[in-house]
Every structure is written in structure tokens, then in C-alpha cells.
Chain A
Amino acid sequence: MNSIVHRFGRAVSSQVPQNPQLSRNILAAGYTLSGWKDAYFGGKGLKGVYAHMNAAISRNMSHSFRDSSRSAMVNIFFPCEILYAMDIAPVFPEALSVYIVNSDCGEVFAESAEAIGISESLCSYHKIMIGTARTGVLPKPLLIANTTLACDANQLSFRYLAEEYGSPHFIVDVPHTVNKESVHYVASQLKNFTVLLEDLLHSSMSESKLRYTVDRANRTIKAYREYLNIRARTSLPISMTGELFSLVATHVFLGTPESEQYAIAIKELAQKASPDRRKKRILWLHTLPNWQDSIRVLLENNERTEILASDMTYDTLIDMDPEKPYESMAERLVYNINNGGAQRRIDAAIAYAKKLHADGVIVFGQWGCKQTMGMSQLAKMALEEEGFPTLVLDGDGCDPRNVADGQMATRVNAFLEQLEASR
């Protein structure tokens, strides 16, 4: 992290206890500036594609801090097409916490959450989000909504936040059973969510706008799927931050013009790219610690290796039908590879490792994520049986306090040496 970011982080952190409003203003101003810079001076090629996505997320972040009357706090899997059709902006822990930690001010928020007795082993993305709310830095949103898919932390954090803010809270219960009946059950809940939103906003949902948004989401999914198909035979210097952009584009931002532009742009770049046989190709499972310079040095922008994809970006790339918007959104939840048992996620990892011609797989054991850590050994056994050397790498995507940095770098380096030795 450079000294300007460090100073920015200190300025935010120092004001949190006494003057959270000032911290909020500094953060909003910082993200507005960062968004503006990247929107107009983003550069070309992959750098430019990333810059545009960063500009969009920065605008979203800045909006969350400045004007929360039309924002909804949601989890990463929540189908936000409904929100966009009603002109509501989402706030979500993964982006919030990653941006906060990359602004070097995560600790003050994590500690604030722990101060009320929240378990130290809770997922750090959620912990930091709770801290921003508890300190009064993140203003009260219009409503809070989450799905129960994959992650227990959703149930806990969003309920806590709803109580803390006194905001309406809606839960979409996603059954573990993957079948059509579950899809109907989820679709009916999403319809009820729309009714709640209509009541809160005193306006009706425009069905045509929802169909339009879902249609755009569908085009984005198709473009991203094509990108992954092309990626199977090309090399692209994607970064850890870039994969997080892809995660946002294929989830919370799905249905926005920025997300569609991103998917099309990255597909076109992949089409122009050529293969690079020298590099070891890594498939990554789960989120990525993009704040960690020691790991970025090893996996980004070098001649030794490249990340192919994070499995969170392809967890639910299925077609959507604009004429059946609720059923389509429900299908994306129920048929998500994170639902219905670890084997579905492991099978998808094997399929993508084959399709993308991966040389090895890294399973990132995100601090607090029982889902990923719990399946890590099963995934390693299954992937290695299929011939993909696999590293289970424990770390934290947004809280350096839970990380043994030097040890992590040693493990990644040793894994790369292992892959290189098998050339």
C-alpha cells in the first residue's frame, strides 16, 4: 500500500470514534475521486476495462456513504435485478470490506464489531460491514435483504444490521434441495420482496423495466460465459482485483449497463489475446486477498503464472428468461454451485479446471467461511485424483490480522515450484 492510501486510512480511522460523520465524508470523497479518476483517465486494454468497473463500484460506494435513502444492504447472492428495476442501489459486504481494507482503515471497523462480542471467527467481510454500521460511518439504508444461500453469516449479520438500524429486513429462504419445487418456493418469496419494496417506495414495479433488466443480465451472463470459453485457449494478465470485479459483474451488478459493458469488453480482450504456454494456469476457488502484496507479486502480471478464474464468478452462469424474471432469478439461486452440498461445487471446479486447461488449483480458505474451509480437503482429494495439484491456502480477503503473510507467500511459492517441477 502506498503512503497516500496509508494517510487516507489514518485520516478515516482517527475520526471514527469521535466524528463518524467526518470519516463518512472522507470515505465518500475518496471514492468519488477514485471513481472520477478511473472513469476519465482509466487507460486502455485490460487496465481500462478494470478502471471502468472500478469507477462504477466507486460510484456505488460513494453513493452508499452519501445518500442511503435509496440503497439496500444485500448479500452477494441477492438478485439485484429487482432493485435496479426500482432504482435502488445495493450495498454489499464483499465490496464494502474490500474497498475499506484497500483504503487501509479496516482494523477500526473490525475491532468495533468485535467489541460487542461478535465472534472473532466470523467472516471478516461481514465483520467489517457490521463495524461500519456500528460506528455510524455507514448510514441507514432503505432496507436490508439477504438470501440464506451458502453462508450462515448472512443470517446473522443482516439480522443484526436490521436491528441496529431499525430497517425493514427481508429474508429469501433458499432450500438446500436443488429441484424445481425449490425454484417455485424461492420465486414466490422474490415476488413478496417486490411487494415490500413497492410498499416502502409507494410506487409500483414496472414489469417491463424488470424484464429489460433481466434481459440485460442474461446478455451479461452469455458474454461472460463466452469469455470463459475463449479463456480456455488464451492468456490474459488478469489481476486478483480484476477477478473481484468479475465477481461483482456476475452477481450484485448483474442487470446494470456497467456489468454488461464489462463482460463484453473482457470477452473482446480475450478474443484478441494469444496463448502463453510458459505460464502456469491457476484456477482459484473463493474470494481473493487482493490487498496482499506478497501474494499479488506471485500471481499477477508476471511470466510465471496467471489466474484463470475464481469459481465465484461462474457459480451460476445459467440462461435467464426475461418473460419469467422471478423464476429465472430463483433458478440462479437454487442451481448455484454453492447450494446443495459440496460435491456440486467440487464437480464444477473439476469441470472448469479441465475446460480452462488449469495446471493447478488454489482453494482459498477465507477466514470464517465454514463452507469453503469445510470442503477444502474434499476438494483437494477430488481435484488431485483428476490430476490437478491443489493447494489449500488459508487467509483473509480483508483482515490482515488473521493472516501469517510470510507463511502464506512461502506456501504459494512452493506450490508454484511444485507445478514448475512437473513441466
Chain B
Amino acid sequence: MIGYTCKYTPIELLYALGETTELLNHEVTDFEYAEKWTHPNLCCHAKAFLLHSSELNELVLINCCDSIRRAYDVLLAQKSHRFLFLFDLPHIDDGCGQENVKKELVRLTQRYIEYHPVSFDRQRFLKACRASSVSSFDYASDAFFEAPSEATSKLKELDSAATFIAIVGARVSQELLSTIKEKVPYPVIDATCGGNRHLGLLPPNAENISFDELMDWYAKELLHFIPCMRMANIEPRRALWENENLCGIIYNTVKFCDYYSFDYSRVKKEASLPILKIESDFTPQTEGQLSTRLEAFLENIQARQKKPQKPKKQQLRHSDLFGGIDSGSTTTKMVVIDRNRKILASSLVSTGAQTQKSAQKALQETCRQLDIEPVDLASIVSTGYGRNNIAFATDSKTEITCHAKGAFFLDPTIRTIVDIGGQDSKIIRIDNQGSVVNFVMNDKCAAGTGRFLEMMARALELDIDNMVRTGLAWKSDLTISSMCTVFAESEVVSLIADNRSIADIVHGLNKSIASRITSMISRAGGQAPYMMTGGVARNTGVVRELEIKLGERLIISEIPELCGALGAALSALELMEG
């Protein structure tokens, strides 16, 4: 069994040499092993690969990027693989490039035969090449080579599907791919640089031509794959987002892989489809955040296809009251409106350890204010992290949709919503109808979230309210340059040791958060007027710095933390109105 990690690996040739192959793109729980040998800032796929590579004795790698080249150097130094080959793939796909690929194919064949005396089996090679030419997408595998008819029918079914979703960008782990396939009600294809292999038709005389001529053809075909970002000519990548049956793109980037952020900017500019960007690091994803993003993405696709989603359960109750509940990581908020969209009651409780319990508490509090029973509410829509765990909700919507709806209702002139929550930050761009056009969320890093402020307040031995007040009295303009929360905390500790005033430090932190958020706004293509929602909107220091950085005033409603719940309540009303 030969392990590999790049789509340019000549797996049909290895199959012809009697070998089976395995794509090594599984997640790991930690990077302890890889970081012992390399560095924490190496691409997370390469680090995960280093651990999995020890499961096999034979590997064929492509010099596809700096990180994989260094992973190869480590494996070479370890001397623990019986067969280790680095295929020197050119960056250019012209005649000289093809000649170089052919030389590498011949060199690989010779090296392998020296290691394991076998001969090149032409029939196996042709069989594998035929299997790899049946579909434009998904990587070929030994199973496909062995049962080409089954593979063909499966892939043809996919190719002829009415609509499908493509995962584009950097390698997606098998685990993440499976999760996405489970959660998305469309066929999903892997068009990342781990999949997306397609050979053309074999030459008519393939049975009879010499090995050299066969390798000429094979080299040309390998170089004609839809290119990955390391290749010089990336124009053919357009085929990935110009397919007319494609209804949405999930764009995957991998932490510390720099290739695909450039491609993403281009895809975002050129493709007129809903795009969801995710950043993975080859460790298990945070289930909640991934679900939120996928659901918002699907809502966007469905809105474009004008196929409104049916409510999960229709429970017609009282005809005039509609509830929205936003179960966030720090607080749970509830809003009740009437048919005229007037807010009648609201509540805000701490979420604590049990989502369901705090949701019940918020519901009871709101009902108490109106002197009604929960059953008097015609419908309730839940949103926020805990939205799927609220049993009494009629339906659920993501916080992206709900914040957009709530903010647009409060002020229809706004075009961008800046929501800084306890655990994540979101920038949502909407059009003049209030529909979501684009959104960006922070990734696993806490920088730019309410949590960041909480951690810094703890380092300064202040509570949040005190922190806000103290920061307004700054005198010396101080910059916290570190973008990472952990670095920033140590920078704060150093500044305290340098006797810098707490007010100046808080002001520096506010600037740092504003810088982070401004960068997200740019990525989302944010446009004025801006509305800020979420609890941090009450932090005057952060608001002021953000306004300076944007050069625009931020609209802040009287109920910034209730915006998501309000949007959910409006969704509950729409649900009943059909």
C-alpha cells in the first residue's frame, strides 16, 4: 500500500506496478508529533500527514508546496520508510513541463522496480486510466479501478445531477467531507487539490504503443488536470465554478496554507453563486459553528432558488403572538412581537451550562411580562448556537439570517451588520430587500470577539463595565500589535509590567479589536450604513475605535443584543403568514 497526498500523484502507474494506494488526508487530534519534527506554523494538512505517514511503509509525494517538501525532508531524515519517493512536478504545463513529468514517471517506475521487482502491467494501467476518465470530479481510487462499472454509474449520476455543491480550495479532510455530505441535501463533490482528478481518453492505439509513448500521453494528461494553485497557469480553474449545475461553493482553506486565500478572493469576485468559506485545521471541527455556517449557506441557496423551506413542525397556537429566541454562548435572549411587528416583551438570561434550561427561563420570563402561557405563542423560531436544542421551538434559523432580518427591520437603510458576540463575530452584508448577500465569521481564534475582551479584562483585573469606563480616559496612544489572543495577553502583561496606564492599555485593546473587525468587514465587502449588534455594541470604547477605523458612524439600536431574537420572532411571524 502506497500512501500519497496530492492529486498529481500517478496512481494509475502505481496500480500498474501492482500496488494499491491510499490518499492520506485524515484529521488528527493534536500536532504534537509533527511539531516535534517541524514547526507549529507549518500547514496543518502537512502536519496531520506526517503523523499518518507513519502508518504506511511506502510513500510517493509530490513537491507540491513548501510544507509538503519539508514533510518529505523530515521523512527522509527519519529513514523509517522502505520506499519514499519525491516526484518533481514542474510549475509549467508546456512541452518542456511534459517532458520533465515523463522523466519523473520513468524514474519512479525504475526506482519502484528496483525496490520491488515487478513489471509494468499494461492492462492494469489501461484499466485504471479508463476508470479515471469517467468523471470530471472526485478522485479515482483503487475501488474505482477494480469496479469501474459501479464507479462509472455512480459518477455519471453525479455528473447528471440537477444541482450540486462543490468543495473547492485546499485539501478537505475525509472527516469534514463526510460531515458536509451528511448535512447538505445536495450531491457534494470534492474539487479540492486532494480530489478533482480527470484523465482524458486513452489514445486509440494504447494497447500497442511503446511504454515511452504511453508515458508521453500520461504526462500530458496529468499536466492537464484542472490545476491547483501552485501551477503557473491557473486559468482552467474557472471550470470549477462555471458549471451550470453548480448551485453553491464551499470554499475550504487550511490553516497555514497560503495558496487558497488568493484563489478565494478571485472566486468570490467571479462566481455569482452562494459561497461559504470555511477554514479547517485538520482537527475535528467545532460542530456548532460548522452547522451554523452550513445552514446559513443552504438558506442562501434556497432563497436564490425561491424554494422556501417548510417549517419543521407546524404548531398553530394563539394567532397574534410570535416568539424569537436567540440561544447564544453567553446569554439567551427572547423577544415576542405581535402581528404588527411591534415588540411586546423581551428577556435576557445567562446561558450557563444547559441551553434548554436557560431557554425555558427566558420563555417563562417573557410570558410573565405578558401574562400569558407559552402555549399562547403562535410560533417560536430559535436561533444562535443552541437553536437546535430548544424543544419548544417551532422552527430554527441561523443567527446570520436572523440578525439580518432583525437589523433590517430596525433600520431598512443599513447595508452591513457588525455583530460582535461572546464567542464569535459576524459581518453580514445585505441588499436593499434585506437579503443576505455575503457574510464572514471569525474562525476558531477568539480575537475580535467578546471573549477576547473578557480575557483581557481578566488580565487587567477589571470587570467589563469598569473596563469600558476606564478605557475612555486614555491619554497616550498605545498599540497592541499582536493579532493572536494569547500573544495579546502576554503583551498586556508586559505593558502592565512597564507601568503603562490601564486606560491606555484598554484603549490599545479596543483599537486591536477594531482593526480585526475592520479587516473582516473588508473581506465581506462591507458597505455603509453599518449597524452594530450584539452585546459589545454597548462598549463605547470599541464602538468609537471602530468608527474611527471605518470613517463611518455605526448605527446602534436601543436593543443591540436582542437583534437576533427579534429577527427570529419576525421569522416566526413570516412562518405563519406563509
A residues less than 8 Å from B491 (CB atoms): 404, 406
A341 CB contact (under 8 Å) in B76, B487, B515: B76
For the complex, what is the distance from the CA of A20 to the CA of B36, rounded to whole Å? Answer: 45
> Given that A185-B100, A401-B482 are contacting pairs, would A156 and B70 also be in contact in the complex, using a CB cutoff of 8 Å?
no
A423: min CB distance to chain B, Å: 31
Nearest residue (CB) in B for A170 is: B232
For the complex, what is the distance from the CA of A151 to the CA of B256, rounded to whole Å? Answer: 14
Would you call B258 and A342 a contact (CB within 8 A)?
no
Would you call A155 and B39 a contact (CB within 8 A)?
no
In the complex, whether B261 has a CB less than 8 A from a CB of chain A is: yes
For the complex, what is the distance from the CA of A153 to the CA of B65, rounded to whole Å? Answer: 10
A residues less than 8 Å from B71 (CB atoms): 374
For the complex, what is the distance from the CA of A410 to the CA of B76, rounded to whole Å? Answer: 34
In the complex, whether B481 has a CB less than 8 A from a CB of chain A is: yes
For the complex, what is the distance from the CA of A173 to the CA of B96, rounded to whole Å? Answer: 10
Nearest residue (CB) in B for A372 is: B39
A residues less than 8 Å from B73 (CB atoms): 341-343, 374-375, 378
In the complex, whether A198 has a CB less than 8 A from a CB of chain B is: no
CB contacts under 8 Å to A, within B235-271, are 253, 255-259, 261-262, 264-265, 268
A370 CB contact (under 8 Å) in B37, B67, B265: B67
In the complex, whether B88 has a CB less than 8 A from a CB of chain A is: yes
A residues less than 8 Å from B522 (CB atoms): 114-116
In the complex, whether B97 has a CB less than 8 A from a CB of chain A is: yes
> Given that A370-B256, A403-B481 are contacting pairs, would A117 and B66 also be in contact in the complex, using a CB cutoff of 8 Å?
no
User: Using an 8 Å CB-CB cutoff, how does the interface string of B35-47 with A read, 1 for contact, 0 for none?
Assistant: 0111101110010
B90 CB contact (under 8 Å) in A111, A173, A370, A404: A173
For the complex, what is the distance from the CA of A332 to the CA of B383, rounded to whole Å? Answer: 61
B92 CB contact (under 8 Å) in A156, A173, A176, A373: A173
A residues less than 8 Å from B515 (CB atoms): 111
CB contacts under 8 Å to B, within A91-144, are 111, 114-123
Would you call B519 and A376 a contact (CB within 8 A)?
no
In the complex, whether A152 has a CB less than 8 A from a CB of chain B is: yes
Would you call B36 and A377 a contact (CB within 8 A)?
yes
B480: min CB distance to chain A, Å: 9
- B interface residues, tally (CB under 8 Å): 56
User: Using an 8 Å CB-CB cutoff, how does the interface string of A384-423 with B read, 1 for contact, 0 for none?
Assistant: 0000000010100000111111110000000000000000
**A-B CB pair tally, cutoff 8 Å:** 149
A interface, size bucket: 35 or more
B490 CB contact (under 8 Å) in A117, A175, A392, A407: A407
For the complex, what is the distance from the CA of A153 to the CA of B256, rounded to whole Å? Answer: 12
Nearest residue (CB) in A for B41 is: A373
A residues less than 8 Å from B88 (CB atoms): 175-177
In the complex, whether A41 has a CB less than 8 A from a CB of chain B is: no
B380: min CB distance to chain A, Å: 37
Would you call A176 and B265 a contact (CB within 8 A)?
no
In the complex, whether A40 has a CB less than 8 A from a CB of chain B is: no
In the complex, whether A148 has a CB less than 8 A from a CB of chain B is: yes
Residues of A within 8 A of B (CB): 17, 111, 114-123, 148, 150-153, 155-156, 159-160, 171, 173, 175-177, 185, 188, 341-343, 365, 367-371, 373-378, 381, 392, 394, 400-407
New contact pairs (8) apart from A121-B256, A156-B259, CB-CB < 8 Å = A156-B258, A175-B88, A176-B63, A176-B88, A368-B258, A370-B41, A374-B38, A394-B41
Q: Please, could you name 8 A-B residue pairs with CB atoms under 8 Å apart, sorted by A?
A: A111-B519, A118-B258, A118-B261, A120-B483, A342-B69, A368-B41, A374-B71, A406-B490
